[in-house]
């Protein structure tokens, strides 16, 4: 969907208006939840999630049945510095695995009744057409951020815009919930740099083992990211994204804002997806209201990113795979929270014998 003249703008990117949640009905909604056939507060975080969904969907009843996982794929020039134990070719191989229906995310999507669409945001190879592949490539991978900007401002804006439009198109087609995930060798390195500047936090506190670095590999990764961070002192969100970001991260950030602009919830996966959500929120603070944080990743730095967004994730399972796997595991909780509002009787009805 093209952007309207009413779009908002930040540092040369125009994005659709995102309306903060109207909290004037929050007390009434809280009373409705407390009045269900259960002790008040007895469903803990599910009640808080139900309240968030009720505010997002008001005055309609919340729905969470139709869900799609958007897996954004992109390669990173930082892999030239040895920041990952795997080569960039693994990104292409994993995209093919998603499209063949054989990745962990596919298994979890089948278990939770979600659809998967794979987005080529910036894979460093030409991919053949496939019904579940969206060709949205901005360029064949980012540049090496340890030596030069990962992308130009125009490329960052293009990625944000395409992500925004993709999420909007899914919602316009009837999707209730957008979940975001990613695939990209080297993207924990890019995400660490983004977190370092946008949390902000010490760089070393943001660097983790990613896909499983050895001690030697982690030392090499840390040295490369120190060089990258020293190359530029930018702090404005769009500048930081262009200097250090990945195309899949930028496109995920756009998807968060696109879903928020359509007043729909976004399930955010782990470390890298949360960094993308942080980018979106730094660009458009109102987008925070629409984010549901799936889980606390085992990747170092994720806790700092969550704290920066005042986020309480639903799950803590020691996950660090990415792909949107944690987001898919959280989807049934979202559906349960929506049905708490729509399906559960009030205590008054139970006591009066109306049931």
Cite the active site residues. 323
Computed over every residue of the chain, the mean pLDDT equals 94
Confidence band of 210 (pLDDT split at 50, 70, 90): confident
Contacts 24+ apart (CB under 8 A), 135-139: 136/162, 136/166, 136/251, 137/247, 138/162, 138/247, 139/247
Q: Region 256-263: what's the mean pLDDT?
A: 98
Q: What is the pLDDT of residue 1?
A: 31
Q: What is the pLDDT of residue 5?
A: 30
Q: How many residues does the chain have?
A: 355
d(CA 225, CA 280) in angstroms, rounded, equals 22
With the CA atoms of 279, 284, 290 and 295 taken in that order, what torsion angle do they form, in degrees rounded to the nearest 10? 20
Q: Region 246-260: what's the mean pLDDT?
A: 98
Confidence band of 161 (pLDDT split at 50, 70, 90): very high
Is the bond leading into 331 cis (omega within 30 degrees of zero)? no
What is the percentage of the chain residues whose pLDDT exceeds 70? 96
Domain boundaries, the chain: 21-63+339-352, 67-333
Q: Is residue 17 over pLDDT 80?
A: yes
Confidence band of 10 (pLDDT split at 50, 70, 90): low
Q: Which CATH class, in words, describes the domain spanning 67-333?
A: alpha beta
**Integer angstrom CA distances of residue 200 from 101, 124, 174, 237, 300:** 38, 30, 37, 11, 15
The pTM of this model reads 0.94
Question: Which CATH architecture group holds 21-63+339-352?
Answer: Orthogonal Bundle (1.10)
């Amino acid at each position: 969907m093209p952007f309207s003249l009413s779009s908002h703008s930040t540092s040369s990117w125009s994005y659709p208006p995102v309306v903060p949640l109207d909290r004037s009905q929050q007390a009434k909604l809280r009373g409705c939840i407390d009045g269900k056939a259960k002790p008040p507060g007895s469903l803990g975080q599910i009640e808080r999630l139900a309240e968030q969904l009720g505010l997002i969907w008001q005055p309609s009843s919340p729905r969470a049945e139709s869900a799609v996982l958007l897996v954004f794929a992109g390669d990173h020039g930082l892999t030239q510095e040895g920041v990952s134990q795997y080569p960039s070719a693994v990104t292409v191989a994993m995209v093919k695995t998603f499209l063949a229906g054989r990745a962990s995310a596919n298994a979890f999507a089948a278990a939770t009744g979600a659809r998967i669409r794979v987005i080529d945001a910036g894979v460093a190879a030409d991919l053949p057409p496939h019904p579940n592949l969206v060709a949205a490539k901005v360029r064949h991978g980012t540049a090496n951020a340890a030596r030069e900007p990962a992308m130009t401002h125009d490329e960052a804006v293009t990625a944000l815009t395409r992500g925004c439009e993709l999420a909007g198109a899914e919602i316009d087609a009837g999707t209730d919930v957008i979940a975001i995930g990613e695939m990209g060798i080297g993207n924990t390195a890019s995400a660490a740099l983004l977190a370092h500047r946008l949390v902000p936090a010490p760089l070393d506190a943001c660097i983790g083992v990613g896909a499983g670095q050895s001690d030697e590999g982690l030392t090499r990764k840390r040295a490369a990211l120190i060089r990258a961070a020293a190359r530029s002192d930018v702090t404005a969100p769009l500048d930081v994204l262009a200097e250090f970001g990945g195309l899949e991260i930028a496109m995920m950030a756009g998807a968060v804002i696109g879903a928020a602009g359509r007043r729909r919830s976004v399930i955010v996966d782990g470390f890298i997806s949360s960094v993308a959500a942080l980018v979106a929120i730094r660009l458009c603070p109102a987008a925070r209201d629409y984010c549901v944080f799936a889980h606390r990743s085992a990747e170092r730095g994720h806790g700092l990113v969550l704290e920066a967004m005042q986020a309480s994730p639903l799950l803590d399972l020691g996950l660090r795979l990415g792909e949107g796997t944690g987001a898919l595991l959280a989807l049934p909780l979202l559906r349960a929270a929506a049905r708490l509002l729509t399906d559960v009787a009030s205590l008054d009805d139970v006591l009066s014998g109306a049931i």
